[in-house]
Structure 1
């Protein structure tokens, strides 16, 4: 049976001061690698640029994915994106250059709606896969903070990307 997706896209999160992945970054990579090993795609894009601490989120994720058995040639590192919108834009360009259209987007559950909206705006047929990040995992206060931020973020993205979502903006590389 052929893979269901052209690629798996794992969205970045913070890198700790010592260069190690934050819990959010680790759980996203773990879920993405599980999908890869399940045969859902033959490649994995890890996306995220520099945050507060080096290395880039993509480099930290690629190293972790390699440790978990994903072969180097299957990993594509997008090292420039500073936010979800840029991840969607840059990953969509990478995918178009390879002739890919379908992606499994891996991020925390509270982050999925806005992420899928952004990828759809850039022409990617995406399906979401939650890496967790629920109330019991991150605590009620932090989860509520994420939920509030994402509600506002979704509205902002819908406004910002409305021309693309309506097909009124050209695709870019």
Structure 2
């Protein structure tokens, strides 16, 4: 077994339970990582947004349709934002005694996720991603990149301020719910 978990970060679910383009891209990256690392568990992180089912459930369904064994999938259906995704992933990694996270998200999102994981003592590396914007439309890419510019310092301060509490809370977290 690999010492890493593949961690897919959520994005919106559209009406009818369809994956938004961002969620579909991230699942595509996770699927490529899962095929490249058959010994790694796949942590799907994302709760229920405006439309159901949860982001994690949509991820799991798409991954299974892509040939990933459901026994490898672990769902975090509670997280509502990136920090909660990171905290849930940290708890999962600690519970499984895994040392690294393979980050499956959009390129604009990777630096913030990697920063938060590093501040919490987790080594990470980006998973397979599309070149440049991937399949993201130019407007979406620029809007999300601008959002990251604001979110990065906010989450930096938040993680530093709550680091001790987060580490204490995730030290005793059990395994997330299985598929």
**Structure 1 residues without counterparts, runs of 5 or longer:** none
For 1:107, the equivalent position in structure 2 comes to: 105
Aligned match for 2:115, one of 109, 114, 117: 117
- Equivalent runs, 1:1-150 vs 2, <5 Å: 3=2, 5-39=3-37, 41-129=39-127, 131-132=129-130, 134-135=132-133, 137-150=135-148
Report the TM-score when normalising by structure 1: 0.88
Deviation, structure 1 residue 133: 8.6
Asked whether the 8 Å contact 1:104–1:129 carries over to 2, the reply is yes
- Shifted more, 138-147 versus 76-85: the winner is 138-147
Asked whether the 8 Å contact 2:26–2:105 carries over to 1, the reply is yes
RMSD over aligned CA atoms reads 2.2
Give the direction of change, closer, same or farther, for the CA distance of 1:162–1:72 in structure 2 (3 Å limit).
same
Q: How many residues align?
A: 170
**Structure 2 residues without counterparts, runs of 5 or longer:** 171-179
Report the TM-score when normalising by structure 2: 0.85
The higher relative CO (CA closer than 8 Å, separation ≥ 6) is in: 2
Deviations 1:98-151 (A, max 9, x none): 111211011000111111112223322111236349547333332221111101
